[in-house]
Structure 1
Amino acid sequence: MTIFDHVLRRLTKPTEYTASTEELKTITFEGIQTYIFNKVTSGKFRKTSLDQESIQNIKSAIHLNVSKNQPIKFTYPFGGYKSWRLNSFPNVDWAEFMTISYVLRYIAPIATTYQPGVEIFFSSDDVVIELIDNYPRKDLDLYVYSFRKLLSFFSPYVPKNVTLSLQQVVPDIYTPEEYHAELERIFSQMKHEGFPQERARALHNEGFAFNFLRNGKQDLTNEDDYERVFPDLAIYSDAYLKLEKRKAFVRGKDKIVLFSNKIPNAIDIGSTNVSKAKFWAGTGVFEKDERYHDRILSPTQWDQIEKQISYEESDLIQMDNFSKIPVIEERLNFKG
């Protein structure tokens, strides 16, 4: 199999699946809900353990949708931007391609056996990235546009009972006015109550120090200017997670949450079968041994192996960042 064959299969046949005799027996004797639960929590995709609360919430979401003869609904919350540290910024690249195909392979056993099918919502947090990471709105809009365009390349090849979409907090869940009013209310309350310094430090070390674009929407290249605004940005970062309508959409009772790492009440499926790096903050490369493997690398990881990458020309996806397929002739040992 050539790299082109591999990528073509990832695009055109991600939901190709035939249920085994044992799986059909499970549906017949234990019911479709048990079968769906088994597939949703399968160790083939799941990277970490599930606690009892998460298990119960997954079962409840499956029951709620099946009892109404509705699609099984998944949300995959993500940043909604491309890291400025990557050459592909501000558009999607092979990392997004890999994750979309991976999620489709994950839900394939359900789409094949459950007629109402599956709905997959990639829930974008781009609206808050403009504020807390200082990304220009035009770059975020380019990313969202390119993500939706990439989804459109997959659409002809997925079953009619599977839908893929990107949902933005604004304008799909909130109007701009509603969003700003609620965010400011929560921010004011949190600031009045006092924001823990240890939490602010953790946010800085875990995200802001690496993700923040100093010369973006505002020019904050001066360290004093950055230090002046950071305390409020840290509060906004946590305030955003408390938005009621966002929580209701992403974590509604009828939703199963997917993510690339272990977070509360979600299934950690990683970003590909061998990766846990976040696709929006990473870039994709295809590892080669006897076959090809989809790997997403963080900017730091990419810098370590960039000189070992070779490229194959491709016109399969006619978008920026897809004219060449990056390949490395070895398996990488990155854990993330």
Structure 2
Amino acid sequence: MSRTWLHAMLARLTAPPGASAPVPDRPAAAERLAARIAARAWRRSGVDAETAADIRAKAAAAIAAGVPLGFAVPFGGYKGPRQPAAPHIDWAELFWIAHLRAYAETLAALHAPGVVISLSYFHGVLGGINRLPQSDQDRYIQGLRALLAHYSDARIRFELIDLSALFGGPAGAVAAIERRYDELRRSGAEPPGPALRSAARNVMHDHASEAVIREAALRCLAMESLEERRRFNKFGPRIQITHIRGASLSLHLGSCATSIHQPWVGTGVLEGDGAGGWRPRIVNGGAIQPGAWVEVAHKLQGLSPALGRIGLLQEGASD
């Protein structure tokens, strides 16, 4: 790839979004809007009957009230400590939010009030789960907040929602998680394999014993089961978006056009498409060899030191 072509590509990827879709003259029928929300081009798995009914009901409610369509994306709120960019955002977050922005534009073309996508997380509680320093999460959220502002406008808005506020702050959220953790532990609950593997990826290296990983996985399950969290993300007016197959009442979308890898525990790269071109992709950063990185310059470089370089991978080289 020539440097000129690379810089031109990155300029396109980092450009401010264009104007939101034209405002429709009249409200779309709820069935039509629901079909657009669940369009196959964006989904990575099927929509079950319960989720389809939930989408239709929430689309109809937004139309009737004349309010934006609401979506919730539960996420970690940190950069996985084993990713090269940690604790900062990198191209994975940029590709992710740009992809969600493009998705939202298809919906704003039918729904005049627009779209609000809420990224929900717990601030200040990860030290008790993954042993993550608070300063690391603060750096990550600072960069992500600026990125969300870049991709927001009057009709398509991204927002960060700190769910610990529902408990009076981080201390209250930690206490609620610990109560639920104790309930799970006393009941003999065991974290399933995916939860253990996730904890093994996310616990800080210095603390990654088998016992600590198991405790982290169980505490994460406790956090995810809190009624307040579930009410915000899926049992209220918002449609939940997930990047993991199989979640109930959830729309399974890609994290970018080519990936389902969760961005906060991945690294954004440009991958060869096998035909001489390159495409954005989110991969496990541990798979990137040192010689694959190239230095770059663009308008969003100041949001994160990790945006000053990008990995180039050949097709099939990603993890």
Question: TM-score, normalization: structure 1?
Answer: 0.82
1:203 maps onto 2:200 in alignment: no
User: What is the Cα deviation at residue 97 of structure 1?
Assistant: 0.5
Contact 2:92 2:266 in 1 (8 A): yes
Partner of 2:7: 4
The structural deviation recorded for 1:234 is: 3.5
User: Quick one: structure 1 residues 187 and 316, their matched pair in 2 at CA, closer, same or farther if it must change by over 3 Å?
Assistant: closer
Asked if 1:56 corresponds to 2:53, the answer is yes
Partner of 2:222: 239
- Give ranges in structure 2 of 5+ residues lacking alignment: none
Counterpart position of 2:43: 46
Give CA-to-partner distance per residue, 1:115-155, whole Å, 9 cap, x none: 11100111124544322211111111111111112222333
Compute the displacement of 1:85 (Å). Answer: 1.3
Give deviations 1:280-326, integer Å, cap 9, x for gaps.
001111235555421111134335xx534444333443232355342
Equivalent position amino acid for 1:76 in 2: V
Residue deviations 1:32-77 (CA, integer Å, cap 9, x gap) = 3223212211111111111111111111111121111110001111
Matching residue of 1:190:
184
Aligned partners of 2:117 and 2:159 also within 8 Å: yes
User: Distance between the aligned counterparts of 1:49 and 1:11, measured in 2?
Assistant: 31
Structure 1 residues 174 and 65, CA gap change in structure 2 (3 angstroms): farther
Query: Which amino acid is 2:234 matched to?
Result: R
* 1:198-218 superposed Cα distances (whole Å, 9 cap, x missing partner): x366532x2222221133xxx
Aligned position for 1:297: 283
Structure 1 residue 174, shift from structure 2 partner: 4.4
What residue is the counterpart of 1:122 in the other structure?
A: 119
Kindly state the Cα deviation for residue 233 of structure 1 after the two structures are TM-superposed: 3.4
Which deviates more from structure 2 when the two are superposed, residues 137-146 or residues 1-10? Answer: 1-10
The Cα RMSD (Å) is 2.8
Contact 2:28 2:111 (C-alpha < 8 Å) held by counterparts:
no
In 1, are the aligned partners of 2:294 and 2:311 still within 8 Å (CA)? yes
What is the Cα deviation at residue 15 of structure 1?
Answer: 5.7
Q: How far apart are residue 244 of structure 1 and its match?
A: 1.5
Q: Which of 297, 302, 314 does residue 298 from structure 2 map onto? A: 314
Instruction: Verify the 8 A CA contact 1:15 1:108 in the aligned structure 2.
Output: no
CA shift at 1:180, angstroms? 3.2
Partner of 1:85: 82
Pick aligned residue for 1:104 from 101, 106, 109? 101
**Please, what TM-score do these two structures have when normalized by structure 2?**
0.86
- Runs of 4+ in structure 1 off by over 6 angstroms are none
Superposition deviation, residue 111 in structure 1: 1.6
AA partner of residue 239 (structure 2): I
Is this contact kept in 1: 2:131–2:203, CA < 8 A? Answer: yes
- Give the SS at the match of 2:270: strand
Quote how far apart the aligned CAs of 1:235 are: 2.8
Identity of aligned residues (%): 21
Would you say how many aligned residue pairs link Structure 1 and Structure 2?
A: 312
Shift of 1:81: 0.9
SS in 1 for 2:151: helix
Distance verdict in 2 for CA 1:60–1:3, change over 3 Å:
farther
Task: Report the alpha carbon displacement of residue 13 of structure 1 after superposing the two structures with TM.
Answer: 5.5
Q: How far, CA to CA, are the matches of 2:282 and 2:121 in structure 1?
A: 19
More deviation, 314-323/279-288? 314-323
Q: What amino acid sits opposite 2:6 in the alignment?
A: I
- State which of 281, 287, 310 in structure 1 corresponds to 2:271: 287
- The answer on whether the counterparts of 1:260 and 1:276 sit within 8 Å (CA) in structure 2 is yes
2:204 — aligned with what?
213
Q: 1:192 to 1:172 in 2, by over 3 A?
A: closer
How many angstroms apart in 2 are the aligned matches of 1:104 and 1:14? Answer: 8
Hey, what does 1:331 align to over in structure 2? 315
Secondary structure, counterpart of 1:139 in structure 2: helix
Superposition deviation, residue 170 in structure 1: 1.9
Tell me how far apart the structure 2 counterparts of residues 230 and 153 of structure 1 sit (CA, whole Å): 36
